[in-house]
């Protein structure tokens, strides 16, 4: 079973992101994703903010800049004028981090 999975992953490796193709590289089945950026935006959530740990904030800024440079993220609504509003991030002990939600 494991060998079959490895074989399939290798066969379709172009579907997965790499350091050279961070958003994947499938050709012929491209999809246009149209985001709604028209006003009115959703109302501002009334959630009490709490300070983030500096390490998490720094890791988050790296991820957001990377995605914005790739054109995968764009600030809209309340985020246009300020900082990111309540992102979700997981940081691992080995120093690597991964952004997993809400921009």
**Site of tokens 């709604």:** 36
Q: Which pLDDT does position 85 carry in this prediction? A: 55
Query: What stretch of H or E contains 59?
Result: helix 54-70
57: which 2 tokens?
A: 């904030």
Tally the domains of the chain.
Answer: 1
Question: pLDDT (tens digit, 0 to 9) for every residue of the chain, 103 residues total?
Answer: 889 988 988 888 877 777 777 666 666 777 777 766 666 655 555 555 667 677 777 877 887 888 888 887 777 665 566 665 555 666 666 777 776 655 4
> Domain residues for 68?
2-99
- Respond yes or no on whether the N-terminal peptide bond of residue 40 is cis (omega within 30° of 0): yes
CB 88 within 8 Å of CB 100 = yes
CB 37 within 8 Å of CB 80 = no
């Amino acid at each position: 079973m494991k060998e079959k999975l490895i074989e399939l992953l290798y066969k379709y490796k172009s579907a997965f992101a790499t350091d050279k193709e961070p958003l994947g590289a499938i050709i012929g089945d491209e999809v246009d994703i149209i985001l709604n950026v028209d006003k009115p935006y959703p109302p501002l959530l009334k959630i009490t903010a709490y300070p983030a740990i500096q390490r998490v904030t720094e890791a988050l800024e790296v991820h957001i800049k990377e995605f914005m440079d790739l054109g995968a993220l764009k600030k809209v609504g309340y985020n246009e004028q300020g900082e990111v509003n309540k992102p979700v991030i997981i940081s691992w002990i080995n120093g690597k981090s991964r952004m997993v939600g809400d921009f």
